[in-house]
């Protein structure tokens, strides 16, 4: 089921800054899809396509949402070094470039500042508008939504824009093997899944966790690896 926010959409999405958003619908249920904001999703990056988000939790006050697709491919940090979530390049990019590219002023008014914990050993809590899921959140939301629903959605595919090799060398890995669990089928077409970052770091802070092709969580991703994708998460006031 797709639940749409009540935008006054202009025909030209380049006029996004002039779009007015109404309040998020408080009736959205966990597992449903909503749309909010825009981000390039075609290979040439010239579009401003509405972003689909999966509702993970509705507290009655807030909607906790995760992008349905992998929207981009970025390194956790620009160099292979000991780093924390608080100080990594990816956190800075999400809360600056991505935040400003995806949302207009009206939409930003609904995005809450979230206290992010479970960032990893030695990594302090942070206050973020946009963030990545933690290991604890992935496990808790699996229990909340049910294994069949969330395990399927842990496996994620990238947009065409996410798959394109970027100027900094980042290039999303897309599965092309023979194991069926490495694919998601939509509208009769099979799409290879990809890895996507979580924010929690294991003991060695030159590594970060990620969700692998089959939905399990791994903790050995080098922070400078340019093959993992992003599924941003945030909380909305309702």
pLDDT 10s digit of each residue in the chain, 238 long? 333 333 333 444 444 444 444 557 788 999 899 999 999 999 999 999 999 999 999 999 999 999 999 999 999 999 999 999 999 999 999 999 999 999 999 999 999 999 999 999 889 999 999 999 999 999 887 666 665 555 556 899 999 999 999 999 999 999 999 998 899 988 889 999 999 999 999 877 899 999 999 888 999 999 999 999 999 999 999 8
Q: Which two tokens stand for residue 95?
A: 């809360």
Q: 171-179: list long-range contacts, CB under 8 Å, 24+ apart.
A: 171/73, 171/226, 171/227, 172/70, 172/73, 172/227, 172/228, 172/229, 173/227, 173/228, 175/213, 179/214
Whether the CB-CB separation of 54 and 234 falls below 8 Å is answered with: no
* SS3 category, 31: coil
pLDDT per residue over 1-41, tens digit each? 333 333 333 444 444 444 444 557 788 999 899 999 999 99
Cβ–Cβ < 8 Å for 169, 75: no
pTM of the predicted protein model: 0.88
Q: CA dist 50 to 38, 121, 169, 199, Å?
A: 4, 36, 26, 24
pLDDT of residue 63: 96
Confidence at residue 9, expressed as pLDDT on a 0 to 100 scale: 37
Question: How many C-beta atoms lie closer than 10 Å to residue 68's C-beta?
Answer: 18
Distance CA 94, CA 92 (A): 6
The DSSP H or E segment spanning 102 is helix 99-102
User: Can you name the residues that pair with 230 across neighbouring β-strands?
Assistant: 72
The domain limits of the chain are 2-237
């Amino acid at each position: 089921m797709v639940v749409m926010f009540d935008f006054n959409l202009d025909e030209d999405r380049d006029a996004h800054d002039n779009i007015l958003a109404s309040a998020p619908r408080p009736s959205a249920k966990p597992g449903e899809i909503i749309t909010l904001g825009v981000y390039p999703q075609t290979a040439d990056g010239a579009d401003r396509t509405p972003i689909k988000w999966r509702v993970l939790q509705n507290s009655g006050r807030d909607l906790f949402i995760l992008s349905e697709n992998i929207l981009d491919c970025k390194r956790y940090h620009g160099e292979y070094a000991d780093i924390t979530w608080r100080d990594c390049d990816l956190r800075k990019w999400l809360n600056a470039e991505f935040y400003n590219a995806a949302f207009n002023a009206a939409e930003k008014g609904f995005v809450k500042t979230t206290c992010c914990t479970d960032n990893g050993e030695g990594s302090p809590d942070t206050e973020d508008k946009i963030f990545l899921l933690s290991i604890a959140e992935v496990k808790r939301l699996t229990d909340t939504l049910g294994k069949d629903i969330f395990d399927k959605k842990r496996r994620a595919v990238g947009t065409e824009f996410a798959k394109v090799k970027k100027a900094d060398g980042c290039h999303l890995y897309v599965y092309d093997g023979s194991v069926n669990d490495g694919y998601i089928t939509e509208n009769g077409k099979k799409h290879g899944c990809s890895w996507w970052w979580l924010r929690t770091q294991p003991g060695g802070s030159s590594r970060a966790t990620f969700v692998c092709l089959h939905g399990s969580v791994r903790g050995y991703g080098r922070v400078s690896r340019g093959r993992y994708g992003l599924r941003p998460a945030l909380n909305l006031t309702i």
